[in-house]
Amino acid sequence: MVYIEHILVLIGIYTILSVSLDLLAGHTGLMAMSHAAFYGLGAYTSGLAAVYFGAPFIVGVLLGMTVAAMVSLVVSLPSLRLRDDYFVIATFAFQIILFSIFNNWIGLTSGPLGIPAIPQPSIFGWTIGSHAGFVAVAAILAGFGYFVVWRIATSPFGRVLNAIREDEIFAQALGKHTLWFKVEAFAVSAALAALAGSLFAHYITFIDPTSFTVMESILIISMVIIGGAGSRWGPLIGAVVLVTLPEALRFVGLPSSVAANLRQIIYGTLLVIMMIVRPRGLVGKYGFGR
């Protein structure tokens, strides 16, 4: 039962990540390679605030989301002037830069040694110390992230994002300042990724840079593409599939080193198949292979 609850918590965390990236990739048409960086910003901000300043969980979450949104402006204002592959490369560069900061700023992040003893969250006097409690919190936060993205996507703001995705020049011709719409969407996406990072830090109680590599960004992108970008249920389905599918390898009896490499092969194979056979994903509305 504890194992199943652990999987459910991971599904909740990755649902937040995939839904938040879908706001950019599925609704705005921007494929960002930096989502794990904002995920890490939330984890480190919340973890450091809790360990060194005794900040409550909710305060750490809000700090992480604020820091991620502010840092996103530094990235988005210059990079969103770029298009297509150039934007992907710019966000990929940011991912590498932030990972290097996590790994080398020893005085702040402890580098490869990581940050241990992150306290379990306490919300209004309720200390979450069981897996069942974390399942409930993960479900609530995933529901919050889902609601935020759904509300944006169905609003006039979201319709402008869809117009930018389909034809940005046409949206500009209608008088829309498309850069600011993209900057705001990027900030919301980064803040929600940081929310997932805060939950991850307090759930695992230990973080180090290896949890926020470019491979993690690729995993999140895979969830969006396989589940289906721009749809209501696509990111959730992608998160469930890519969290649970590799767990089946544990029951095959493969050594952990082999299973880890096989997991990457599975991700890559699924991506190739989906891009060739069904670019829109399982239930998606927007195909990246167009």
C-alpha–C-alpha distance, residues 286 and 166, integer Å: 10
Check residue 283 and give left, alpha or beta (phi > 0: left; psi -120 to 50: alpha).
Answer: alpha
pLDDT for 40 beyond 60: yes
Matching residue, tokens 């944006």: 152
For residues 135 and 12, the answer to whether their CB atoms sit within 8 Å is yes
Select the highest-mean-pLDDT range: 35-39, 174-178, 285-289.
35-39
Q: What is the structure's pLDDT at 204?
A: 93
Residues 6 or more apart in contact with residue 94 via CB below 8 angstroms: 34, 37, 75, 79
DSSP for 204-267, written as a single string: HS-B-GGGGSHHHHHHHHHHHHHH-BTSSSHHHHHHHHHHHTGGGGGGTT--HHHHHHHHHHHH
Q: Tell me: the pLDDT tens digits for 117-148? A: 999 888 877 778 788 889 999 999 999 999 99
pLDDT, tens digit, for every residue of 65-85?
Answer: 999 999 999 888 887 777 777
Give 215-273 pLDDT, tens digit per residue.
899 999 989 988 888 888 889 999 998 888 877 776 766 666 666 677 777 777 877 88
The answer to whether the beta carbons of residues 16 and 145 sit under 8 Å apart is yes
For the cut 70, the answer to whether the pLDDT of residue 20 exceeds it is yes
As given in the structure block, the two tokens for residue 267 are 């991700």
